[in-house]
Amino acid sequence: MNEPRICIVGAGALSSRRIYPYIGAAGAQLVGVCDLDNEKAQRNARLFGGQVYNDLEQMLAEQKPDGVIICTGPNG
């Protein structure tokens, strides 16, 4: 069975500590990182893998993930 392809929306401090590090350990492949702050998205893609996006619809269309994890704050 192939690893599930996962995209994450949000690259803030909390998700960077509590979500991103465990994607691979859970047997999934991180394929997309989406955040309006391009520097944060680039940092997480560099550390954990995945392609950088600042547009959710584009990421979903290009990556066609098996799942999406939303990690944004209440104002996100």
**Secondary structure in 3-state letters for the chain:** CCCCEEEEECCCHHHHHHCHHHCCCCCCEEEEEECCCHHHHHHHHHHHCCEEECCHHHHHHHHCCCEEEECCCCCC
Residues in the chain: 76
Count Cα atoms within 13 angstroms, Cβ side, for 27. Answer: 3
Give the confidence band of 21 by pLDDT, cuts at 50, 70, 90: very high
Q: What is the pLDDT of residues 22-41, one digit of tens each?
A: 999 999 999 999 999 999 99
Q: What is the pLDDT of residues 35-60, one digit of tens each?
A: 999 999 999 999 999 999 999 999 99
CATH of domain 5-70: 3.40.50.720
